[in-house]
Amino acid sequence: MIPIITAFEASPDRGRGLARDMPVRWALEEVGQPYDVRLVSFARMKEPAHRALNPFGQIPTYEQGDLGLFESGAIVLRIAERNAGLLPDEGDARSRAIMWMFAALTTMQAPIVEFGMAAIFERDKPWYEERLPMLRDRVRVRLGELSERLSDAEWLEGAFSAGDLLMVTVLRRLGGTGAVEEFPNLAAYTARGGARPAYKRAFEDQLAVFKASQEQQA
Amino acid sequence: MIPIITAFEASPDRGRGLARDMPVRWALEEVGQPYDVRLVSFARMKEPAHRALNPFGQIPTYEQGDLGLFESGAIVLRIAERNAGLLPDEGDARSRAIMWMFAALTTMQAPIVEFGMAAIFERDKPWYEERLPMLRDRVRVRLGELSERLSDAEWLEGAFSAGDLLMVTVLRRLGGTGAVEEFPNLAAYTARGGARPAYKRAFEDQLAVFKASQEQQA
């Protein structure tokens, strides 16, 4: 049965691939699983029908048969567990790949989202200029630690995994800030993720949705 | 082989059970797995030996045989996957319990940590009084959504799971702010988690470590 995911009808990132459907699309492309997409507006996301799928009123969701899931990390893990290509078979190596999924979505993502949220919601506040360096420093510390750990390896643990998929997704949120570029190995790592054919297909698909939404408006 | 976790030699929360070893201790107690603890100082956490286990220089870590893990979410998942009692056996129900683990550590935890960090690091800043209501509102929105979803159920999905374990852990970070108490069903849910014998054993064990650190100083 073909899974159905939800995505923004008109993504606020204007098709830059930063919405949370992107890692799910990418994971589905990596394992070669066809899927359908149901587009939702901001208003629809907050209605009871969508909240029955995701109580927090967000995208993405994932439906397959009787299963309904939300949380992009949990969806990517489900896909990775049921298909070859995103997690090692051996138990300990598998746990370590999953560890990087959590590291991406918690330790790395928390300061990155806080930095990004401030840039959106507090740009016109009197304290913005003073807070920003603090937020940027917190991001820099984590990037430095990740850079040290990655060193000159291609991926975080041997072969590409769902951990890399989520880490690259999180690092891409810093695009345009120059933060990742301070660490050339992380910039190369992020580019390496973005050069994967599955990434490119997922990116084009989400961009096509945004372009279509703009044409409808025009 | 008995696993070894790391924990703070002298936890900055003064034994309130908010450090990240708490969910790992709790999970180990729930499944009845004995474990050893290696205490680390703040200085030791940032040294190469500890960073080899956790590149971000944090606790907890988890060592068992050849396996070394960090990230409390990943460690709890590893424990839950290998022992009965923290995840349903049936595949779809299992994915939904894991979904709540991710929801706890991302969607719920992000605004809660941001609110808590501001209270620690920005209390003396001129903008503190103006920013706080905004941060508190973000927390309140998520709590309201979780409250609606939980309704009058005992746990998030049928039986107690690793998803509840992490959700209760995250909600407990709001202790003393009155935020959870605005939603009586969430206050009862948090108390229900804290009343579990496994929780109590874990709590007493981490408290004993803090008390011992204070006696050494005295």
Residues A136-176: pLDDT tens digits? 999 999 999 999 999 999 999 999 999 999 999 999 999 99
pLDDT, tens only, A66-88: 999 999 999 999 999 999 999 99
**Host domain of residue A76:** 4-85+198-212
Q: Is the pLDDT of residue A218 over 80?
A: no
Cβ neighbours of B133 (radius 10 Å): 10
- Specify whether the CB–CB gap between A5 and A38 falls below 8 A: yes
Contact A74 B125 (CB under 8 A): no
Q: Which pLDDT value is given to residue A216?
A: 82
Residue A217 lies in a domain: no
Instruction: Quote the number of domains for chain A.
Output: 2
- In chain A, the residue whose alpha carbon lies closest to the alpha carbon of B95 is A78
Residues A111 and A192 in one domain: yes
- CATH code of the domain covering residue A21: 3.40.30.10
**Could you tell me which of B171, B169, B177 has the C-alpha nearest to residue B199?**
B169
Residues A190 and A202 in one domain: no
Contact B56 A127 (CB under 8 A): no
Residue A145 lies in a domain: yes
Residues B52 and B98 in one domain: no
Residues A109 and A119 in one domain: yes
Question: Mean pLDDT across the stretch B157-178?
Answer: 96
**Which band of pLDDT confidence, cut at 50, 70 and 90, is reported for residue B87?**
very high
Residues B32 and B74 in one domain: yes
- CATH code of the domain covering residue B155: 1.20.1050.10
Residues A192 and A203 in one domain: no
pLDDT, tens only, A100-150: 999 999 999 999 999 988 888 888 988 898 899 999 999 999 999 999 999
Residues A46 and A116 in one domain: no
CA distances from B155 to B23, B139, B158, B186, B193 (A): 17, 20, 6, 10, 9
Q: Please work out, in degrees rounded to the nearest 5, the angle formed at the alpha carbon of residue B206 by the alpha carbons of B201 and B210.
A: 140
- The shortest CB-CB distance from B103 to any of A57, A71, A127 is to A71
Residues B44 and B30 in one domain: yes
pTM: 0.97
Residues A11 and A74 in one domain: yes
CA distances from B167 to A140, A170, A218, B150 (A): 29, 23, 44, 12
Phi and psi at residue B156, to the nearest 5°: -65, -35
Q: Is the pLDDT of residue A3 over 80?
A: yes
Residues A61 and A152 in one domain: no
Residues B119 and B212 in one domain: no
Residue A59 to residue A34: CA distance in whole angstroms: 19
Q: Which residue has the higher pLDDT, B3 or A121?
A: B3
**Which band of pLDDT confidence, cut at 50, 70 and 90, is reported for residue B198?**
very high
DSSP-derived secondary structure letter, A182: G
- In chain A, the residue whose alpha carbon lies closest to the alpha carbon of B57 is A145
- In chain A, the residue whose alpha carbon lies closest to the alpha carbon of B146 is A55
Residues A78 and A135 in one domain: no
